[in-house]
């Protein structure tokens, strides 16, 4: 039996990168997983590839197109998961965006875009998952993706850092409010993880004159990482599966750092 056997999980931002890896690791440990993403075609392909990979007598994979900032779409994603698998046990609020801008150039549009997906999207995701868990009689786990940018400000990404600080406080507030329903809320904070997100970040950094070439920002961060390299998505999935499992049942309100020793607080 796997560590999360039979647990019904939703992972947002699961068409690629960290979210896809979280979902696949959960499947490997026996969970049933709804891969959800705003990119509906791509996330359906991810689900299909996994269906082929873990094929067995029972349906254990599904997918949903969702914009995490739209409450009705979030409700529909949860309803689809419950129709498919009968319940919801674990909800990962992982979808996130970044769009670097120099601090003095940050616009309301840039702020609202990033805070919308990373902040409001996380809050709606927590509320609607909890509503379903409470309707089932309580119990469940909500797990939010924070960041090293939840701990300190970085150059050229002020709204992103603000949004990830918000994820920490939402995790703490949610943990307090939902404890009476036996729902835990935790989070994990990756350092620098090599995903598609960095391709866009590199392009944006070059556009604003903050980098000369792709990969420069990652290289500069690498020198600050005690483990000597940036992470791959596989480096975070041991922790995310642990947070989804019964092994972490006594934890709530906490953020686990997975940054290779980039921050020491
Ligand atoms: P990514 O860009 O590779 O993947 C993010 C996914 O989220 C994409 O598939 C995208 O389509 C989806 N998405 C974007 N907006 C959405 C919306 N409104 N609704 C639903 N889905 C949406 O990014 P990643 O690197 O895998 O990052 C995943 C999470 O980890 C994010 O919350 C990110 O902030 C966080 N994080 C990443 C790093 C890193 O270095 N890559 C570090 C710390 C934290």
Q: Is residue 263 predicted with pLDDT exceeding 70?
A: yes
> Which residue minimizes the CA distance to atom 44 of ligand 1?
147
Q: What is the pLDDT of residue 1?
A: 63
CA dist 83 and 78 (Å) reads: 9
Q: How many CB atoms lie within 10 A of CB 75?
A: 15
What residues line ligand 1, using a CB cutoff of 6 Å? 12-13, 15-19, 37-39, 66-69, 94-97, 117, 121, 145, 147, 190, 192-193, 195-197
The mean pLDDT value of the chain amounts to: 96
Q: Is residue 76 predicted with pLDDT exceeding 70?
A: yes
Q: Report CA(20)–ligand 1 centroid distance (Å).
A: 10
Atom of ligand 1 nearest to the CA of 145: 32
Q: Is residue 264 predicted with pLDDT exceeding 70?
A: yes
Q: What is the pLDDT of residue 211?
A: 95
CA dist 41 and 207 (Å) reads: 29
The overall pTM is greater than 0.90: yes
Spatial contact of 178 and 130, defined as CB atoms under 8 Å apart: yes
CA dist 159 and 101 (Å) reads: 9
What letters, b where the CB count within 10 A reaches 16 and e where it falls short, cover 9-33?
bbbbbbbbbbbbbbbbbbbbbebbb
Q: Is residue 57 predicted with pLDDT exceeding 90?
A: no
Helix (H, G, I), strand (E, B) or coil at 55: coil
Q: Is residue 232 predicted with pLDDT exceeding 80?
A: yes
Percent of the chain predicted with pLDDT > 90: 95
In tens, the pLDDT along 175-223 reads: 999 999 999 999 999 999 999 999 999 999 999 999 999 999 999 989 8
Residue 217 CA, chain-centre distance (Å), reads 22
Q: What is the pLDDT of residue 185?
A: 99
Task: Report DSSP letters for 185-248, one per residue.
Answer: EEEEEE--B-STHHHHHHHHHHHTTS-SSTTHHHHHHHTT-TTSS-B-THHHHHHHHHHHSGGG
pLDDT band at 58 (very low <50, low <70, confident <90, very high): confident
Integer CA distances (angstroms), 67 to 64, 71, 80, 118, 241, in order: 10, 8, 15, 11, 24
Tokens found for residue 94: 């992982």
Q: Is residue 97 predicted with pLDDT exceeding 80?
A: yes
Mean pLDDT of 109-125: 98
Q: Report CA(88)–ligand 1 centroid distance (Å).
A: 22
In tens, the pLDDT along 126-184 reads: 999 999 999 999 999 999 999 999 999 999 999 999 999 999 999 999 999 999 999 99
CA dist 54 and 30 (Å) reads: 10
CA dist 82 and 51 (Å) reads: 18
pLDDT band at 2 (very low <50, low <70, confident <90, very high): confident
Q: What is the pLDDT of residue 55?
A: 73
17 contacts: CB under 8 Å, gap ≥ 6 = 193, 195, 196, 197, 233
CA dist 151 and 131 (Å) reads: 29
């Amino acid at each position: 039996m796997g560590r999360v056997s039979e647990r019904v999980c939703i992972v947002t931002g699961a068409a690629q990168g960290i979210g896809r890896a979280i979902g696949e690791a959960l499947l490997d440990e026996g969970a049933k997983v709804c891969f959800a993403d705003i990119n509906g075609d791509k996330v359906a392909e991810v689900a299909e590839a996994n269906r082929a990979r873990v094929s067995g007598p029972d349906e254990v994979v599904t997918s949903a197109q969702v914009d995490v900032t739209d409450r009705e779409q979030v409700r529909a994603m949860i309803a689809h998961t419950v129709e498919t698998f009968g319940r919801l046990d674990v909800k990962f609020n992982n979808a996130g965006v970044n769009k670097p801008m120099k601090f003095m150039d940050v616009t309301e549009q840039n702020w609202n875009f990033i805070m919308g997906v990373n902040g409001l999207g996380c809050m709606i995701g927590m509320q609607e998952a909890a509503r379903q868990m409470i309707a089932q009689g309580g119990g469940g786990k909500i797990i939010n993706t924070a960041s090293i940018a939840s701990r300190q400000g970085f150059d050229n990404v002020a709204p992103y850092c603000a949004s990830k600080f918000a994820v920490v406080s939402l995790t703490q507030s949610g943990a307090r409010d939902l404890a009476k329903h036996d729902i835990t809320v935790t989070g994990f904070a990756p350092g620098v993880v090599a995903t598609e997100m960095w391709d866009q970040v590199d392009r944006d950094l070059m556009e604003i004159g903050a980098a000369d070439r792709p990969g420069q920002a990652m290289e500069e961060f690498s020198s600050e990482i005690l483990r000597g390299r940036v992470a791959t998505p596989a480096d975070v999935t041991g922790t995310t599966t642990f947070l989804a499992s019964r092994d972490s049942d006594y934890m709530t309100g906490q953020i686990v750092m997975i940054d290779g020793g980039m921050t020491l607080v």
